[in-house]
Amino acid sequence: MTTDDGDRDPRLSPADEAFVRRIASAYAPPRPSAPQRAAFMARLDARFERSRRRRQGGALVAAAAAALAAFALLHAPSQAPPAQRAAAPGAGSAQAEAILALAIAQEPASDAALPEDYEAIAGVLLGG
């Protein structure tokens, strides 16, 4: 048996080499005819063309997305600096107080939050 570089494989005897050649020839695909080769090449070329078009389409989509993001960043309404936002005292304080009151009212008491089974387990584990 010879390797890819043409050197004989020293591990195989001549009988083993002949056996390997017979196995390789038995499993070798039949040589395609000229029309089969032409059809295969046409399918391969079509696949390469689809892949090329897909890559070009992806590049166009990425460029369009980048252009849209740049447009959005350049034309976004500017935010007022923090000093100007804090200049109007009491402007949002009533709303903030209402939200805080709702958050405090919805906070459950720690003892009442546990079901009875859990309270019993907590009592055993925590000793209370």
Residues 73-82 pLDDT 10s = 887 776 655 5
Q: Domain ranges for the chain, please list them.
A: 1-30, 32-72, 93-126
- The model's pLDDT over 1-52, given as tens digits with 9 standing for 90+, comes to 555 545 667 788 889 999 999 999 999 988 999 999 999 999 999 999 988 8
Q: What single-letter DSSP state applies at residue 81?
A: P
Q: pLDDT band at 109, cuts 50/70/90? A: low
Whole-number Å distance between alpha carbons of 8 and 18? 13
Whole-number Å distance between alpha carbons of 115 and 99? 28
Does this model's pTM top 0.75?
no
Per-position b or e across 1-29, b if 16+ CB within 10 A of its CB: beeeeeeeeeeeeeeeeeeeeeeeeeeee
- Both tokens of 124, joined, read 């055993």
- Both tokens of 68, joined, read 């849209």
- The model's pLDDT over 59-100, given as tens digits with 9 standing for 90+, comes to 888 888 888 888 888 877 766 555 555 545 555 677 777 777
Whole-number Å distance between alpha carbons of 81 and 68? 26
Whole-number Å distance between alpha carbons of 76 and 66? 15
Whole-number Å distance between alpha carbons of 16 and 51? 45
* % the chain with pLDDT above 70: 70
- Both tokens of 55, joined, read 């890559």
